[in-house]
Amino acid sequence: MKSNRHHRLPLAASSHDDGVAVSPAHSEPSSASDGDSSTELMQVGDLARETGKTVRALHLYEELELVRPVARSKGHYRLYGADALLRIRWIGKLQDMGLSLTEIQTVVREWEELNSAPRAMVKMREVYRSKLEETRATLRRLRALEHDLHQSLAYLDTCEVCDPARLLNACTNCDMHGCGDHVPDLVAGFRAN
Amino acid sequence: MKSNRHHRLPLAASSHDDGVAVSPAHSEPSSASDGDSSTELMQVGDLARETGKTVRALHLYEELELVRPVARSKGHYRLYGADALLRIRWIGKLQDMGLSLTEIQTVVREWEELNSAPRAMVKMREVYRSKLEETRATLRRLRALEHDLHQSLAYLDTCEVCDPARLLNACTNCDMHGCGDHVPDLVAGFRAN
DNA sequence: CCTAACTCTCACGTAAAGGTACGGGTGCCT
DNA sequence: AGGCACCCGTACCTTTACGTGAGAGTTAGG
């Protein structure tokens, strides 16, 4: 009862900024045969651009065996197919769900081991189901937070019109506020010390 | 445009487990005067119990000047008043809002510096306002995630009734699913590699 | 051939938020 | 006086998800 596991709520701005104009600029390593547009491979930089991740991150994911280039160029350059995009974006989503890379690692491993599909599907469902629960809990918490913030802002807004002469340092608990009687926690916390 | 700031979405289970039965057990350091029940001081362990934080955490917060005991016992024990509870809980909420301890630090510092209240109030409002925005953005993202998860689960549920003989490894993109045509990202990601 | 831009593989660095341990004092009860 | 639970200060350890070079090779274009 002592382990105070303290993982905080996941999520962030998680910049979904797509580089958009993906100028192929120079390299276009279409494989030997001919310009078959659907089989173009990309190198790590391109993948990085299109997923918003950094090259370093992609290298890391590879170390953790979360992705694997379909091939290497003559000079050891990693070459990725289109599914890599899916994979990386998928990883991103799992991260947004609050999974750590190591957790994702085990998910992937499990999938690959019992590749017999049915069992894997079940596993997958389990994971998603529990994550859905968590996500909903998180949503509840965030909504509460939103409410708190909203309330505190309302409270503070009444401050704004307060006579500047009287709010000196009694401000956080002056009697002006018509909005009720108890100071919101988020406001009270400032003074408490 | 290269700094890929990667803070993920905040929030977590953030265990709001109150120890509830706060057995005073042994020490009850009511200050010199007499047993005035409203002026009881508590020591760090008690504070820890009541806030769900660990003693170490509280020490840390003190190092960062986020809290300060009202007094010390004869033998250097930290002694806290009731406002410490407010303060610590407040810190917790700010953390839940996604603020790092260092950010909280600057918030506190600013508050204490321009203690002239009006300006501080304005600052406070700014912070909360922007955090409200962020929180709402996060909510949107989470809702999307919830939707994704829900969809994927629906998709996977149709799998369950699928003929076990045919889902071997073509499972993630078999033709059984009446629920549309494109495989949800969260499902497709498993295979892409 | 030359060059710019990209990539390779190490390998060490970093910030956040504590965890954990050490060696020694305190507080209170009996 | 003994004991037990708690506290002190100091200080090094841990994990996560990359960042940041270094030194060297590779690709495509001109």
Question: Each residue of B53-80: pLDDT tens digit?
Answer: 999 999 999 999 999 999 999 999 999 9
Average pLDDT score over residue span A34-40: 54
Query: By the 8 A CB rule, do B87 and B66 touch?
Result: yes
Q: Kindly state whether A37 is in contact with chain B, defined as any CB-CB distance less than 8 angstroms.
A: no
**pLDDT for A20:** 39
Per the model's pLDDT, the better-predicted residue between B71 and B21 turns out to be: B71
Q: To the nearest whole number, what is the mean pLDDT of chain B?
A: 76
Q: How far is CA A175 from CA A56, A119, A148, A181, in A?
A: 56, 64, 20, 8
Query: By the 8 A CB rule, do A189 and B91 touch?
Result: yes
C-alpha count within 13 angstroms, C-beta hemisphere, residue B100? 5
Number of CB pairs < 8 Å for A and B? 226
* List of domains in chain A: 37-92 (1.10.1660.10), 131-191 (no CATH)
**pLDDT for B161:** 53
Question: Each residue of A46-77: pLDDT tens digit?
Answer: 999 999 999 999 999 999 999 999 999 999 99
Q: How far is the CA of A53 from the C1' of D23 (A)?
A: 25
Nearest CA distance, A102 vs chain B (angstrom): 16
Q: How far is the CA of A120 from the C1' of C21 (A)?
A: 43
Residues 44-103 of chain A with CB under 7 A from strand C are: 44-46, 55-56, 59, 76-78
Question: Each residue of B30-54: pLDDT tens digit?
Answer: 333 343 445 689 999 999 999 999 9
Question: Each residue of A126-161: pLDDT tens digit?
Answer: 888 888 988 898 888 889 888 989 988 888 777 655
How far is residue B2's CA from residue B56's CA, in Å, rounded to a whole number? 37
Instruction: Nearest by CB to A139, from B5, B116, B139: name it.
Output: B139
Mark yes or no for CB contact A10/B5 under 8 Å.
no
Nearest nucleotide to B91 (CA to C1') is C17
Tokens of A42: 């990309």
When computed from its CA atoms, the radius of gyration of chain B, rounded to whole angstroms, is 26
Please state whether strand C lies within 7 Å of residue B76 at its CB atom.
yes
How far is residue A104's CA from residue A108's CA, in Å, rounded to a whole number? 6
